[in-house]
């Protein structure tokens, strides 16, 4: 160490006493007679000895105080306090420094005992809530910890350079707050399915389980609504929840309600951040995602993004239509303020997508607005419906290309996105940001990437199809709404295709929607014509099924190169495979340009949505898909099989 760096460790008081001593010795040497000089030298010696004894005792006392105060801190904090990289000081109540570590004196450029900390660093005098301070060219996070010793009050000041100090960042990370928002799924339906005398017991059991979990992480919780809880704890305890895969989810499902059809489940949104505000914001976003994915799961949002736990239970169907009614009225009000309504679905649309679009078209016509549907290139799945539309003069100008839609969205316009919530999966992603009013209607499980901040949105993962959701919207849109036969049949065809003939994801509201459409005149014979395939498609699909490789109940197959409508073929082949005995889940891959498309299907035992979500896709537990861009076939299949193995380990 050079002289300049050593000099900062020389006490100011020591320099002063040495100067005074030298002056006293010089004056004494000039005094007469000899006896007086001897007395004065002896007196000076005694003063110096007393000073050093008092100084030593004071330092030892402060070391004892500092040691006791720092020992009272938690082990995780204590092991970092004396780190050279973290400036730390202990002051009296008035701000006078009694002890500090070398890092603090290095930062101050001097020994600081006996000096006021606010004169050395005026930045520390800011309010406690303002935790960031800038000293020199470095921004520190200020930690102020009150302490008591011997009946007196002290304060620990710690300056954490989170960006450059590994120990400091580790410490700061483990002591920051973690927030959990907890909500009982479908609480109203759960109570209706439970005997009256069991309501209090159900609430008490949920309270007890959440209280026990809170105690395990040494946190606090508050029940702020009949079905909502808020939990706070230090981030270091989050790892135990993650290792147990949020076992509280299974604990709540074990509560007896007296009705096997109603199993209580929780949705949990956990968030962490650099401060409680950010942690709470992340927790709210995580809970929204957990609810959008059907509930019965925990979603954690941290610096690395989203992590998912649970989700084995099927989304609980909500019997009430209040949400659909409120959405219908809100959409009608928004339509009345627009001049043009444009509806767009996902790329390579199916009958559910087109049926929902025609339903929105009927609503716009009822509101007296110009209405259009964006369609780039028809595929075999919707070709029959498109041909019917072209034969009807009323629909001749309804279908528009993405380029034409860009001009239609100028001015007072509304864009309705149906059957997808992911911007990149729409027919024309560039249109999403151009509409003055943006509405999203989708029944898929919500993914980590979705259209941000639409004007109005309706996500119902328990619905069988988007056509079912739009049918309910139509019911409440107007007392006397006129719907053309083709629109009614397209909506019923959409429900039929997504439920695989009312055999998958079919609830009470699905049959109610189908019954309503049948009353409006839907012709089931006409609908069958919309499902017909040509001989080539049927033969190719049979070969895909025949060439499938089955392992542990999971079938994987490929569509042949050059097949017509490969994405549609993959979906149909996956549907056919799960109809074979012994196959619990099926995945069919196809190549379209530089993208490998994966269609996944399940009969319910395997959650294909969780598998394909690992590949950037999504969907439902029984129907899901994914797109892998810029990858060859062998690599795509390896990624798929890796995701399947990961899912098996997690389950």
At residue 108, does pLDDT exceed 50? yes
Is residue 526 domain-shared with residue 553, that is, in the same domain? no
pLDDT tier at 372, thresholds 50, 70, 90: very high
| Rounded Cα–Cα distance for residues 182 and 54 (Å) | 59
Domain boundary among 531, 566, 593: 531
Residue 629, in any domain of the structure: yes
Write down the pLDDT at residue 20.
Answer: 60
What is the CATH number for 634? 3.10.310.30
Query: Is the pLDDT reported for residue 79 higher than 90?
Result: no
Give yes or no: residues 384 and 495 share one domain. Answer: yes
Structure tokens at 423: 């911007």
Per-residue pLDDT tens digits for 424-461? 889 999 998 888 899 999 988 776 667 877 889 888 88
For residue 166, tell me if it sits in a domain: no
Q: Which CATH number fits the domain that encloses residue 411?
A: 3.90.1640.10
The whole-number average pLDDT for the span 605-613 is 87
CATH code, 227: 3.30.70.270
Tell me which residue range forms the domain holding 378: 322-531
**Closest C-alpha among 456, 426, 463 to residue 438:** 456
d(CA 91, CA 85): 20
353 plus 428 within the same structural domain: yes
Residues 280 and 232 in one domain: yes
22: helix, strand or coil: helix
Asked whether residue 170 is marked as a ligand-binding residue, the answer is no
Q: Say if residues 298 and 270 touch (Cβ distance below 8 Å).
A: yes
Shared domain check, 360 and 502: yes
Q: Is 350 annotated for ligand binding?
A: yes
Are residues 421 and 466 located together in one domain of the fold?
yes
**Residue 42 located in a structural domain:** no
459 in a structural domain:
yes
Scanning the structure block, which residue is given the tokens 């033969």? Answer: 539
Q: Is there a single domain that holds both residue 425 and residue 523?
A: yes
- Least confident window among 152-161, 170-179, 537-546, 547-556: 170-179
**379 lies in the same domain as 512:** yes
Contact 220, 179 (CB under 8 A): no
Strand order across the 595-602 sheet: 549-551, 554-558, 585-592, 595-602, 623-629, 618-619
CA distance 411 to 369: 14
- Residue 3: pLDDT band with limits 50, 70, 90: very low
88 domain-assigned: no
Find out whether 387 is annotated in a ligand binding site: no
Residue 474, both tokens: 């139509």
Domain end: 531, 558, 576, which one?
531
pLDDT tens digits along 522-565: 888 777 777 777 788 888 899 999 999 999 999 999 999 888 87
Position 407 in a domain: yes
Query: How many domains does the chain contain in total?
Result: 3
- On whether 498 is known to bind a ligand per the annotation, the reply is yes
185 in a known ligand binding site:
no
Query: What mean pLDDT comes out for the span 511-525?
Result: 89
Give pTM, 2 decimals: 0.59
Q: Calculate what percentage of the chain has a pLDDT beyond 90.
A: 31
The pLDDT of residue 47 is: 67
Do 527 and 548 share a domain, yes or no? no
Residue 352, annotated as binding a ligand: yes
More confident residue, 185 or 176: 185
Beta strands 297-302; 370-374: pairing state: unpaired
Same-domain check for residues 475 and 352: yes
Residue 225 burial (10 A CB sphere; 0-12, 13-18, 19+): exposed
| 160, pLDDT greater than 60 | yes
Q: Where are the alpha helices (DSSP H) in 520-565?
A: 524-531, 535-546
Q: Does the pLDDT at position 77 exceed 70?
A: no
Dmax (CA) for the chain in angstroms is 134
Assigned domain for 54 exists:
no
286, part of any domain: yes
76-to-72, 568, 610 alpha-carbon distances in Å: 11, 56, 36
pLDDT at 166 over 50: no
Query: What mean pLDDT value characterizes the chain?
Result: 82
pLDDT (0 to 100) of residue 5: 37
Given 310, 330, 355, the domain boundary residue is 310
Q: What distances in angstroms separate CA 582 from CA 181, 535, 586, 602, one per listed residue? A: 40, 27, 11, 12
My answer on whether 385 and 410 are in the same domain is yes
Q: What is the pLDDT of residues 376-417, one digit of tens each?
A: 888 777 888 998 899 999 898 899 999 999 989 887 899 999
Examine the domain organization and report whether 291 and 365 are in the same domain.
Answer: no
């Amino acid at each position: 160490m050079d002289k300049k760096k050593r000099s900062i460790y020389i006490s100011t008081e020591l320099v002063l006493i040495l100067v005074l001593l030298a002056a006293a010795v010089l004056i004494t040497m000039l005094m007469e007679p000899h006896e007086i000089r001897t007395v004065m030298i002896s007196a000076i010696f005694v003063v110096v000895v007393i000073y050093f004894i008092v100084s030593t005792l004071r330092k030892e006392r402060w070391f004892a105080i500092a040691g006791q105060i720092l020992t009272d801190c938690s082990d995780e904090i204590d092991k970092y306090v004396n780190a050279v990289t973290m400036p730390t000081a202990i002051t009296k109540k008035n701000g006078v420094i009694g002890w500090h570590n070398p890092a603090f004196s290095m930062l101050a450029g001097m020994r600081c005992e006996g000096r006021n900390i606010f004169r050395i660093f005026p930045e520390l005098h800011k309010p406690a809530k303002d935790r960031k301070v800038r000293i020199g060219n470095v921004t520190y996070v200020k930690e102020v910890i009150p302490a008591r010793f011997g009946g007196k009050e002290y304060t620990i000041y710690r300056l954490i350079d989170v960006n450059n100090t590994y120990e400091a960042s580790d410490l700061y990370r483990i002591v920051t707050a973690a927030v959990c928002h907890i909500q009982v799924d479908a609480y109203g339906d759960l109570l209706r399915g439970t005997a009256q005398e069991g309501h209090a017991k159900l609430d008490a059991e949920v309270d007890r389980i959440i209280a026990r979990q809170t105690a395990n992480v040494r946190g606090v919780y508050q029940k702020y609504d009949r079905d909502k809880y808020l939990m706070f704890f230090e981030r270091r305890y989050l790892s135990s929840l993650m290792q147990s895969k949020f076992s509280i989810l299974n604990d709540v499902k074990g509560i007896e309600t007296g009705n096997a059809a109603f199993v209580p489940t929780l949705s949990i949104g956990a968030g962490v951040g650099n401060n409680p505000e950010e942690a709470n914001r992340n927790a709210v976003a995580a809970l929204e995602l957990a609810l959008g994915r059907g509930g019965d799961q925990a979603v954690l949002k941290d610096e690395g993004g989203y992590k998912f736990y649970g989700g084995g239970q099927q989304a609980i169907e909500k019997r009430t239509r209040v949400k659909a009614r409120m959405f219908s009225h809100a959409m009608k009000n928004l339509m009345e303020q627009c001049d043009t309504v444009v509806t767009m679905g996902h790329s390579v649309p199916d009958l559910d997508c087109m049926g929902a679009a025609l339903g929105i078209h009927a609503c716009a016509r009822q509101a007296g607005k110009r209405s259009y549907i964006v369609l780039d290139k028809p595929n075999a799945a919707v070709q029959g419906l498109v041909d019917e539309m072209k034969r009807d003069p009323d629909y001749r100008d309804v279908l528009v290309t993405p380029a034409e839609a860009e001009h239609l969205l100028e001015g007072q316009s509304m864009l309705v996105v149906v059957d997808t919530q992911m911007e990149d999966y729409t027919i024309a992603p560039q249109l999403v940001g151009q509409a003055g009013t943006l509405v999203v209607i989708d029944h898929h499980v919500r993914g980590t990437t979705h259209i941000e901040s639409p004007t109005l949105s309706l996500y119902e993962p328990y619905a069988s199809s988007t056509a079912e959701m739009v049918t309910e919207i139509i019911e409440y849109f107007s007392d006397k709404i006129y719907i053309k036969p083709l629109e009614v049949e397209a909506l019923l065809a959409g429900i039929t295709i997504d439920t695989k003939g009312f055999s998958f994801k079919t609830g009470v509201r699905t049959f109610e929607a189908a019954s309503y459409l049948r009353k409006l005149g839907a012709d089931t014979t006409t609908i069958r014509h919309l499902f017909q395939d040509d001989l080539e498609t049927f033969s190719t699909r049979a070969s895909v099924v025949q060439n499938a490789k089955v392992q542990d109940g999971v079938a994987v197959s490929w569509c042949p190169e050059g097949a017509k409508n490969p994405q549609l073929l993959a979906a149909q082949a996956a549907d056919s495979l799960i109809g074979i005995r012994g196959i619990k889940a099926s995945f069919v891959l196809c190549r379209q340009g530089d993208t490998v498309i994966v269609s996944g299907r399940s009969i319910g035992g395997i959650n294909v949505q969780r598998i394909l979500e690992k590949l950037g896709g999504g969907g439902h537990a029984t129907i899901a898909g994914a797109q892998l861009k810029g990858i060859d076939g062998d690599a795509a299949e390896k990624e798929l099989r890796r995701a399947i193995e990961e899912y098996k380990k997690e389950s």
